[in-house]
């Protein structure tokens, strides 16, 4: 079997998780990690030394011209997703681009158009779709356990959790916790609810707590933060309501900074027959006119490392036509439309239509 030739663009924090997926495929004889690219040459060299990658580039177009890559991961900051993804697609590769797909829906649509024109796969890094917890709930949904799901809550609240650096700089990130954290749980909820079409959104953002807390020196993430390099100009918290064409309503809350006791990440689904919270995976339903709860057998938690390995395997399998793509670019575009509408609504104070 021909080994797929892999490239990685952006060799920061999350690229290590992509690498662990490709390393597994390399060990199985399915892939060869040929080249990596980062605009920061020192970072690139350290990364390539660590993983034994010989070909190193600081310009992704040059990498694509020279290396005949089959599969490329785009792991740059958000403002570079569009250009790097289009360069990789035009250079003949299938691409997985980290979340959020882009800075806004317009960019995401350009990326989707480039994938169609090149006849290549474009997957979005919605890693939460690849968790064992998501598989468990999806099966319950598909088995009809919940009946019709008409309401859900997507929550990702951090007490003091801006990763710092470019994540707080709108020009690089496109926004704050909504586009960074909210995107994960909004996508997961919509996916579990059967991917209905969004029709409108109403949102509010606050920035009351701001840069002091964001720059309080907490370092929980593996990104480089150089003092003074980036302003902090994104929201602290966003709350929103999104309506869908089948009557389904989603309530969203996502924060970097909030006076809350601890961090909370959860997806709650409420249907005509049952409801659940993915935090404890306890399903509440009724039997013989009485409320009962049960917890399905199996792994209930979201395990970060294994989910990335599954995601990369799913991407390569889909690139080779072995399985359907589980996180297609079309869903990335819908997510960007939802995020654009929420930010627009927060500015205008009015509900915004999504088309
Ligand atoms: N799926 C997840 O759970 C998850 C978690 C963390 C981050 N992310 C996403 O991954 C992406 C990267 O985040 P990170 O934490 O790794 O950031 P990071 O800052 O650690 O790494 C980003 C890297 O991209 C490089 N870069 C920027 N522009 C480039 C370009 N044009 N060409 C080549 N390299 C370029 C930077 O030099 C930097 O090394 C973001 O989109 C982020 O939202 C996803």
Q: Does 31 share its domain with 106?
A: yes
pLDDT of residue 17: 98
Q: Whose CA is nearest to atom 33 of ligand 1?
A: 38
Output the tens digit of pLDDT for each of the chain's 355 residues: 789 999 999 999 999 999 999 999 999 999 999 999 999 999 999 999 999 999 999 999 999 999 999 999 999 999 999 999 999 999 999 999 999 999 999 999 999 999 999 999 999 999 999 999 999 999 999 999 999 999 999 999 998 888 888 999 999 999 999 999 999 999 999 999 999 999 999 999 999 987 666 555 555 666 677 778 899 899 999 999 999 999 999 999 999 999 999 899 999 999 999 999 999 999 999 999 999 999 999 988 999 999 999 999 999 999 999 999 999 999 999 999 999 999 999 999 999 999 9
**Radius of gyration for the alpha carbons in the chain, expressed in angstroms and rounded:** 20
Neighbours of 249 (CB within 10 A): 13
Lining residues, ligand 1, CB within 6 Å: 9-15, 37-40, 43, 60, 75-78, 80, 84, 98-99, 125, 127, 180, 223
Among 99, 125, 151, which residue terminates a domain? 125
Q: Is residue 289 part of a domain?
A: yes
Structure tokens at 287: 């039997």
Terminal CA-CA length for the chain: 44
Q: Which helix (H) or strand (E) holds 51?
A: helix 41-51
**CA 12 to ligand 1 centroid distance, Å:** 6
Domain count, the chain: 2
pLDDT at 86 (0 to 100): 98
Q: Is residue 108 part of a domain?
A: yes
In a domain, 171, yes or no: yes
* Cβ neighbours around 281 below 10 Å, total: 18
Among 281, 333, 289, 347, which residue's Cα sits nearest to residue 123?
Answer: 333
The protein residue with its alpha carbon nearest to ligand 1, atom 6, reads 14
Helix 329-348 to helix 105-118 angle (10° resolution) is 160
Assess whether 94 and 217 both reside in one domain. no
Closest CA to 333 of 236, 231, 219, 198: 198
How far is 6 from 26, CA to CA, in rounded Å? 10
Among 8, 9, 11, 12, the mutation site with the greatest number of ligand 1 atoms within 8 A of its Cβ is 12
Is 90 found in the same domain as 121?
yes
Q: What is the pLDDT of residue 218?
A: 58
Half-sphere exposure of residue 24: CA atoms within 13 angstroms, side-chain side: 16
Using the mean position of ligand 1's atoms as its centre, give its distance from the Cα of residue 77 in Å: 4
- Domain assignment of residue 292, given as a range: 129-302+335-353
Asked whether the beta carbons of 5 and 71 are under 8 A apart, the reply is yes
Report yes or no on 309 lying in a domain.
no
Residue found by looking up tokens 């980036």 in the block:
230
Q: Is position 192 within any domain?
A: yes
Q: Find the 186 Cα to ligand 1 centroid distance in Å.
A: 21
Q: Which atom of ligand 1 lies at the shortest distance from residue 40's CA?
A: 37
In a domain, 324, yes or no: no
Same domain, 288 and 150: yes
- Residue that terminates a domain, selected from 125, 150, 185: 125
Coil, strand or helix at 198: strand
Provide the CATH number for the domain around residue 76: 3.40.50.720
Instruction: Name residues whose C-beta falls within 8 Å of residue 83's C-beta, 6 or more positions apart in sequence.
Output: none
Q: Does some domain include residue 327? A: no
Closest ligand 1 atom to residue 60 Cα is 32
State whether residue 182 is helix, strand or coil. helix
Please give the biggest Cα pair distance in the chain: 67
**Are residues 8 and 77 located together in one domain of the fold?**
yes
Same domain, 74 and 217: no
Q: Which runs of E-coded beta strand occur in the chain?
A: 4-9, 31-37, 55-57, 71-74, 94-98, 122-125, 149-157, 198-206, 237-244, 249-255, 264-271, 274-277, 282-287, 290-294, 352-353
Q: List the residue whose alpha carbon is closest to atom 18 of ligand 1.
A: 12
Ligand 1 atom having least distance to the Cα of 180: 43
Indicate if 114 and 72 belong to the same structural domain: yes
């Amino acid at each position: 079997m021909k080994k797929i030739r892999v490239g990685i663009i952006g060799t920061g924090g999350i690229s290590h998780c992509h690498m662990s997926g490709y390393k597994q495929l390399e060990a199985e004889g399915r892939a060869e990690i040929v080249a990596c690219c980062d605009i920061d040459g020192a970072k690139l060299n350290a990364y390539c030394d660590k993983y034994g990658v010989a070909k190193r580039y600081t310009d992704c177009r040059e990498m694509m011209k020279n290396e005949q890559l089959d599969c490329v991961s785009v792991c740059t900051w958000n403002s570079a997703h569009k250009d790097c993804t289009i360069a990789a697609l035009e250079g003949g590769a299938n691409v997985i681009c980290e979340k959020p797909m882009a800075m806004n829906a317009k960019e995401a649509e350009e990326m989707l158009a480039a994938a169609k024109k090149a006849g290549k796969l474009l997957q979005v890094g919605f890693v939460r779709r690849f968790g064992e917890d998501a598989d468990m709930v999806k099966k319950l949904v598909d088995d009809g356990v919940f009946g019709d799901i008409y309401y859900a809550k997507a929550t990702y609240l951090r007490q003091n959790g801006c990763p710092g650096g470019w994540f707080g700089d709108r020009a690089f990130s496109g926004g704050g916790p909504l586009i960074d954290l909210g995107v994960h749980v909004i996508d997961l909820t919509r996916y579990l609810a059967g991917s209905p079409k969004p029709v409108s959104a109403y949102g509010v953002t606050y920035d009351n707590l701001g840069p002091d807390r964001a720059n309080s020196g907490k370092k929980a993430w593996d990104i480089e933060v150089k003092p003074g390099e980036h302003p902090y100009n994104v929201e602290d918290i966003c709350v929103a309501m999104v309506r869908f064409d089948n009557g389904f309503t989603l309530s969203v809350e996502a924060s970097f900074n909030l006076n809350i006791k601890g961090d909370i990440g959860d997806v709650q689904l409420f249907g005509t027959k049952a409801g659940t919270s993915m935090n404890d995976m306890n399903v509440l339903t009724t039997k013989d006119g009485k409320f009962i709860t049960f917890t399905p057998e199996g792994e209930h938690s979201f395990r970060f490392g294994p989910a990335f390995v599954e995601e990369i395997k799913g991407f390569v399998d889909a690139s080779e036509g072995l399985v359907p793509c589980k996180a297609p670019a079309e869903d990335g575009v819908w997510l960007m439309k939802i995020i654009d509408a929420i930010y627009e609504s927060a500015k205008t104070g009015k509900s915004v239509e999504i088309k």
